[in-house]
Amino acid sequence: DLLVVGSANADLVIHVDRRPDAGETVLGSDLATHPGGKGANQAVAAARLGARTALLARVGDDAHGRLLTGSLTSAGVDTTRVLSGDTPTGVALITVDPSGDNSIVVSPGANARLTPADVAGARELLAAARVVSLQLEIPLESVAAAVAAATEAGTRIVLNPSPPAALPREVLAGCDPIVVNEHEARVLLGPEAGDTPEAWAAGLLALGPRSVVVTLGAAGALAATADGTVRIPSPRVAAVDTTGAGDSFTGALAWRLGAGDDLVTAVRFAVRVGAAAVKKPGAQESFPTLEEVGQL
């Protein structure tokens, strides 16, 4: 079973001809409101594939919170640990211009209130899970608390350090694997990162995790351990919208690792899930069922 600990956001999207400058007002399309946030996305991705999945997260007692809970529930995610309080649900205000470039303002809202005490409250779930999957859209101290509790319980830890931030050594050492895209790899490694995925994987392994996965968009992914590095190509698909591709990849990977797959086998599956997700618009709406992955 999989426990995801992380964020839940409402993504508020408006298409504009041109993004506004300071002091300027522009008119845009009708507002579209989508369930998002990396934690909720990963949980929905795994549950839609058939994984028994629970999410530990915080939302507000508001319409956005209900939107998220509804999306999670209809995907089959256990939401008994989706906690609700006075702080509004996190939102991302997204404007998209005709070239597809976007500007995003995030209000973490309730996500910033997911505390180490909330993690302690889910200790039994953490101990019972085979894998806990984490990202960095909640307070770092709560991520660290989850890593500590999972390590003590022998629960495997998957971490996508997004948005990328410096991580304590104990957190890095607990990851098996740490999952990064190119941007996250470069931020974590700094100017000495090097220019190949193999170099990033080697640099990240030196920071202490047991394993590293680097996602490479249409090129697939790379899996690295002390034993070696393997490149896994992605199926070729007509990409429509890559939003949430990394989240579906990581949710799928975490599930398969918990089900007993070795790292390379799990990455082979996850690249198919990511490829299926980019064939449809949206994030959670685009995540495939097991049958759709099989049809690729």
62: tokens are 């508001």
43 in a known ligand binding site: no
- Which region, judged by CB under 6 A, interacts with ligand ADP, from 25-33, 194-202, 203-211, 269-277? 269-277
Residue 296 CB, nearest approach to ligand ADP (Å): 10
Burial of 296 (C-beta count, 10 Å sphere; 0-12/13-18/19+) = middle
Does the protein bind ligand ADP through residue 63 (CB under 6 A)? no
Out of 149, 275, 283, 293, name the contact with ligand ADP by CB under 6 A: 275
CA 191 → CA 161, 184, 187, 203, 277, distances in Å?
18, 13, 8, 12, 32
CA distance 218 to 8: 26
What is the pattern of x (binds ligand ADP, CB under 6 A) and - over residues 165-204? ----------------x-----------------------
Out of 131, 221, 223, 224, name the contact with ligand ADP by CB under 6 A: 221
Among residues 162, 110, 108, 112, the alpha carbon closest in space to that of 133 is found at 162
DSSP line for 171-215:
HHHHEEEEEE-HHHHHHHHGGG--SSHHHHHHHHHTTS-SEEEEE
**Which one, 84 or 242, has the nearer CB to ligand ADP?**
242
Among residues 18, 170, 173, the alpha carbon closest in space to that of 102 is found at 18
- Which region, judged by CB under 6 A, interacts with ligand ADP, from 37-45, 131-139, 204-212, 272-280? 272-280
Does the protein bind ligand ADP through residue 284 (CB under 6 A)? no
Q: How far is CA 284 from the centre of its chain?
A: 11
What is the pattern of x (binds ligand ADP, CB under 6 A) and - over residues 230-249? ----x--x-x--x--xx--x
H or E element, residue 142: helix 140-153
166 in a known ligand binding site: no
Task: Indicate if 21 belongs to the active site.
Answer: no
Please name the residue that has the structure tokens 């309730």: 110
39 in a known ligand binding site: yes
**Which one, 118 or 184, has the nearer CB to ligand ADP?**
184
Out of 36, 274, 282, 288, name the contact with ligand ADP by CB under 6 A: 274
CA distance 217 to 283: 15
Does the protein bind ligand ADP through residue 45 (CB under 6 A)? no
Q: How far is CA 222 from the centre of its chain?
A: 17
* 79-114 burial code (b ≥16 CB/10 A, e <16): bebbbbeebbbbbbebbbeeeeeeeeebbbbbbbbb
- Which region, judged by CB under 6 A, interacts with ligand ADP, from 20-28, 46-54, 55-63, 216-224? 216-224
139 preceded by cis ω (within 30°)? no
- Binding site for substrate, residues? 9-11, 37-41, 137, 247
The residues that are catalytic are: 247
- Binding site, residues? 9-11, 37-41, 137, 181, 215-220, 241, 243, 246-247, 277, 280, 282, 286
For ligand ADP, the binding residues (CB under 6 A) are 181, 215-218, 220-221, 234, 237, 239, 242, 245-246, 249, 271, 274-275, 278
